[in-house]
Amino acid sequence: MSAALLLELRNLACGYGAQRVVQNLNLHLNAGDIGCLLGSSGCGKTTTLRAIAGFEPVHEGEIRLDGEVISRPGHTLAPEKRRIGMVFQDYALFPHLTVAQNIAFGIRKHPRQAQVIGDMLELVNLGGLDARYPHELSGGQQQRVALARALAPEPQLLLLDEPFSNLDVELRRRLSHEVRDILKCRGTSAILVTHDQEEAFAVSDHVGVFKEGRLEQWDTPYNLYHEPATPFVASFIGQGYFIRGQLLDPDTVTTELGALRGNRAYTWPTGSAVDLLLRPDDIVHAPDSALRARIVGKSFQGAATLYRLQLPTGSQLEAVFPSHLDYPPGAEVGIQVAADHLVLFPAAGSVPVLNEPQRHA
């Protein structure tokens, strides 16, 4: 049985005033799923979230929630009528209210208010802190209160705007997993906005990668990494490099690393110039290989070490080796390509390097 469609954005264009920040946006979210809008600052992800919440009108297209049109040009259903909860980046807790009073804010007329507050405190692991005020809580505890307050009215959809950005790295990682568990436990549908890939992948079932107001790809984290739809998605998600090659047949490309065969077929003409994406996990240590590379950088990561490698032609790659293989910069190592499939794009004017900050600005 297929999941029910909850949220649908059709040919959406929205922005601030006359300025259109987002164009031709199409995506859908099934009930019980967690989606994420991922991208750099100014790409349109927060504008989209605000339009879903009803804080901004739409210029074109429409937003549907559970089959009802809640936004279209000339019609914006008021935010308080949308059954949408919101968790803000700065938590937006009322400083003069206790934890319990903050949670109760949206359920003041609920016949079982005390029980709901107790359930929420238990859900977010804040039992016994109901009488404290926000300034008496840690950042992580404040975020849990904000989450509990948003969940108490049982919204159809929960929106989270950079909810972990004010927390330190380790707490952000731990809380992101906790939030996913809480949402899944309650069957709550949600849309998260973030610029952090690790956070997006940890929390979400589907992730949308934004670039300059347009959605490049809406897909599972696995597919975004292994099946990027555009060179931008390939460069924005994960690590790696492109190297130039030539298509020999639908599933084989020749490069300076030799002829490589994958498990997918491409329909471009034989002989087409292509750019091949190689992730660090596509390159393995092979001491006896005739293919050699020089180490020009390394980053120790505990169980593994990320090496930046330079081929004889000057092209560069990255590879992850077990950390006990400890090579110094300048050393020459044997490598081998171990890619189950080949990710190819028509050759660009110049070969782009992945994960350069200027590509994401």
**Sheet containing 332-337: order of strands:** 283-285, 332-337, 292-300, 304-310, 316-322
| pLDDT tens track, the chain, 361 positions | 567 999 999 999 999 877 889 999 999 999 999 999 999 989 999 999 999 999 999 999 999 999 999 999 999 999 999 999 999 888 889 999 999 999 999 998 899 999 999 999 999 999 999 999 999 999 999 999 999 999 999 999 999 999 888 888 888 889 999 999 999 999 999 999 999 999 999 999 999 999 999 999 999 999 999 999 999 999 999 888 999 999 999 999 999 999 999 998 999 999 999 999 999 999 999 999 999 999 999 999 999 999 999 999 999 999 999 999 999 999 999 999 998 889 999 997 644 444 433 333 2
To the question of domain 240-359 being in CATH 2.40.50.140, the answer is yes
How many Cα neighbours within 13 Å face the side chain of 44?
20
**CATH number given to 5-231:** 3.40.50.300
Task: Show Cβ contacts of residue 246 under 8 Å, excluding neighbours closer than 6 positions.
Answer: 253, 254, 255, 271, 272, 273, 274
Please report, for the chain, the start and end positions of each structural domain, with discontinuous segments joined by +: 5-231, 240-359
Count of beta carbons in the 10 Å neighbourhood of residue 223: 16
Burial of 286 from C-beta contacts in 10 A (0-12 / 13-18 / 19+): middle
What pTM, to 2 d.p., does this model score? 0.88
